[in-house]
Structures are given as structure tokens and as C-alpha cells.
Amino acid sequence: MAGGSSQPSNTTQTTKVELPAWLEGAAQDNFAQAQDIAKQPYVPYTGQQIAGQTPDQLQAAQSIRDMQGQTGAALGSLGAGAAGLGNYQATQVTPQTLAGTDLSAYMNPYTGEVETNALKALESSREQSQNQIGDQFLSSKAFGGSRQALQSAVTDAQVAQKAAETSAQIRAQNFTQAQAAATGDITRNLAAQQANQTAGLNAAGLDLNAYKTAADIYNTGQQADIRDIGLLDTSGGQQQQMQQGQLDLQYQNWLEAQGWDKSQIEWLHQMIGSAPGSGNTSVMSTGNPGGSRASPAMGALGGAISGGATGAMIGGPAAPYTAAIGAVAGGIMGGLSSR
């Protein structure tokens, strides 16, 4: 109808952001887990953070303490020993004589037994000879005559002389052997005394030279000990650095473990924000769409609601900020579109 006035329209648009049921449940679970984490008390780190001295370092320090005063004591002892050599007296040589030596200790203790056995053997030979003489004269029917008696007497005399010679030889041989053994001991004793005297003099000279060089040797050894202690301390320092690195690593691992649940919550939050279908929007209209425009205030309100909901669905750690920004931007755009 020309020139007719349009009737006022009453139109309402509602924008609604709907989340899938599975996504809304995941968001609620994530928020519940975050609340549980936020309620956890502060947990201080109770592990060791500073590496202590290693056994090598402690041993090096103890070795240095043990060396205190050793040099003076050692040099004092060496000086006293060198001074003592000034009063050294060589051992005296006292030779022995054969005349003053008791030969009984050198006599063969089995001489008497040897002599007895030898005399028994001669007696047995004499008896055999007498038996042979008796048998000889018996067979010639002259047994018991003067001739038999004479021959028997000659045999006995020969045996007796042989026994005396044998006994004298055994005893003389024993004495000669004892005298030779004693002479050998006397000679060896004299040589030993002379050798001991010479050895004592040589030892005194060697001791004197040793005292003269002992101080230098001691100082050289002390310097070597100091170098060894330094190497031991260096090794202990390297071990200490390694232990400190291990302690630092343990502390870093503890920090990561403390933040692990929080990082998992953040990761889940990001996954929920970027999940497909997290921003489904539906628009419903009621009233007469053919009427006049809606008021700018109503348009701005609707745009703010729509923008805030859409911004919240972006997710991530900045979700509160994106929701606010979306609300402002939506309100501005809604107000412009209603003019």
C-alpha cells in the first residue's frame, strides 16, 4: 500500500554456542583436575644440593696435616746419628791358639766302639789261626807237642802286635782329625773376626755418607709426597664437580616432576581448545522480521554475548582474555549492524 506506514516490528535474535557433550565433559574433568592441583601444598626440596668433600680431598688434607713437624724431627734424628759415629770403636780381634783349645769336643765319640770292634775282629782271626794249627798237628799226629806250642805262641804274639798297632792307629787318627778340626775352627774364627772388624769400619763409613745424603733424600721424598697430595686433591675436586653435577641434575629432575601434572593440565587445555566442533553456533529469530530495525543497544548486547562465547571457545592459556576481547568486539559489531 502506497504511502502506508509500516507497523513496528518486534524481532528477537538469540545466538547460542553449544559444545559437544564429550568435549564439555573433558573440559569439566580438566577443570576438576586443575582444582585438585591448586589445592596441593608446597613441597620443599629436601635432597642434597651442595656436594661435600670427597674422600680423596679429605685424605689430601689429612696428609698435609700429618706432614707438619716431620722435617724437623727427621733432620734432628739424622744429625744425632751422624754425631754418634764420631765415637765409633772398631771391634777387637782376639785370635785363639791350639794349645788353649779343648780337643775333647772335636774327638770322635765312636772311636772306642770302632777300636773294640777292630780288636774283636783280630781276636776272632787269632782263634781261627789257633784252630787251624791244632787241626794241622792233629792230622799229623803231633797234637800237643812243642812245635804246636811254639807256633801258637808266635800266632798270639803277631795278633797282639797287630791289635796294638790297630788301636794306636785308630786313636792317632782320631786325635789328628780332632786337631785338624780345631785348627780349622781357629782359622775360621780369626778370619771371621777380621772380616767383622772390616765390615764394621766399612759400615761406619757408609753410615756417615748415608747421613750426609739422607737429608737431601728426605727433602726429595717430601716434594714427591706434596706432588702426590696435589694430584690426589685434584682428583678429589674432579669427583666433587661430578657429584655436584649429579645433584644439580637430581634437583632439575625434581623440578620437572613437580611441574609435570601442571604441564599435563595445560596440554589437555590446549587440546580441548583446538578440538573440532568446539565453536558450533546456532541462531534463533522470533517476531516479525519485516519490521523496522532493532535498537542499537539490543544489537550490541547480542553481539557481546556471541563474541564472548566464541572467544572462550578459542581455548589455551589465554582463554579468559580471548573471551573478554571477543565480547567487546562482538558488542561493537552488533551495535553497528543494528543501525
Q: Are 194 and 93 in contact (CB under 8 A)?
A: yes
Place of cell 682428583: 235
Q: pLDDT for 149-194, tens place per residue? A: 777 777 777 777 777 777 778 777 878 888 888 898 888 988 998 8
**pLDDT confidence of residue 242:** 93
Exposed/middle/buried for residue 309 (C-beta within 10 Å: 0-12, 13-18, 19+): buried
Please state the separation of Cα 26 from the chain's center in Å.
57
74: number of Cβ within 10 Å = 16
Sign, CA torsion 220/222/225/227: negative
**Gyration radius of the chain over CA positions:** 65
Residue of 61, 83, 76, 82 whose CA lies nearest to 218: 76
Q: Are 301 and 331 in contact (CB under 8 A)?
A: yes
Start-to-end CA distance of the chain, whole Å, equals 25
Task: Specify which residues 86 forms β-bridges with.
Answer: none
Please provide the size of the chain in residues. 339
154: left (phi over 0), alpha (psi -120 to 50) or beta: alpha
What 3-state DSSP class applies to 281? Answer: strand
Q: What are phi and psi of 112, to 5 degrees?
A: -60, -40
**pLDDT confidence of residue 230:** 92
The alpha helices in 67-145, defined as continuous H runs, are 70-84, 111-139
**pLDDT confidence of residue 296:** 46
**pLDDT confidence of residue 244:** 93
Q: Which residues of the chain have pLDDT under 50?
A: 1-5, 289-339
